[in-house]
């Protein structure tokens, strides 16, 4: 188990729901990855992310709501400025299974 964090530290993390608007292959990535444009609503806007979620087809991802950390520092991944970290669980095949709301919610909704 990792170190225990204080509740105040957890409160600093902004975890929001967004809808994937655009998906393309990240041609420069060493491991298969997509570049995604995600709408997080008026407050945050549209953000970009590079994610190794190629077990999903482009068609499956378009208009899918996802959950992401939106206030990490930007990270350059294979020439792409990744602005958010999309959250998922790793299954027994080492594939990322995306976390998402069970029902449609507004983009920018807080995850608590």
Q: What is the mean pLDDT of the chain?
A: 96
Instruction: Transcribe 52-65 into DSSP letters.
Output: --TTS-HHHHTT-E
Written as six digits, the tokens of 32 are 């298969």
pLDDT category of residue 24 using cuts at 50, 70 and 90? very high
Query: Residue 60 has what pLDDT?
Result: 98
* Cα four-point dihedral sign 105, 110, 111, 112: negative
Q: What is the mean pLDDT of residues 42-53?
A: 97
Q: Considering the entire predicted model, what is its pTM?
A: 0.94
28 phi and psi angles, rounded to 5 deg: -90, -10
Query: Residue 94 has what pLDDT?
Result: 94
The CATH number of 7-98, from 3.30.56.10, 3.40.50.2000, 1.20.120.330, 2.40.50.140, is: 2.40.50.140
Q: What is the mean pLDDT of residues 65-84?
A: 96
Query: Residue 1 has what pLDDT?
Result: 92
pLDDT category of residue 5 using cuts at 50, 70 and 90? very high
Between CA 68 and CA 88 the distance in angstroms is 9
Q: What is the mean pLDDT of residues 35-57?
A: 97
In 3D space, the residue among 45, 65, 62, 48 whose CA is nearest the CA of residue 106 turns out to be 65
DSSP classification of residue 75: E
Q: What is the mean pLDDT of residues 66-80?
A: 96
Spatial CB neighbours of 43, under 8 Å, sequence gap ≥ 6: 108
Query: Residue 57 has what pLDDT?
Result: 97
Contact in structure between 14 and 71 (CB atoms under 8 Å): yes
């Amino acid at each position: 188990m990792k170190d225990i964090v204080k509740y105040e530290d957890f409160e600093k993390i902004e975890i929001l729901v967004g809808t994937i608007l655009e998906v393309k292959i990240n041609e420069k990535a060493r491991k298969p990855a997509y570049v995604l444009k995600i709408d997080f609503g008026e407050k945050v806007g549209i953000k970009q992310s590079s994610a190794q979620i190629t077990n999903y087809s482009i068609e499956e991802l378009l208009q899918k709501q996802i959950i992401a950390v939106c206030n990490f520092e930007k990270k350059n991944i294979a020439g792409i400025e990744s602005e958010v970290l999309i959250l998922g669980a790793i299954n027994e095949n080492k594939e990322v299974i995306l976390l998402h709301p069970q029902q449609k919610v507004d983009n920018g909704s807080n995850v608590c």
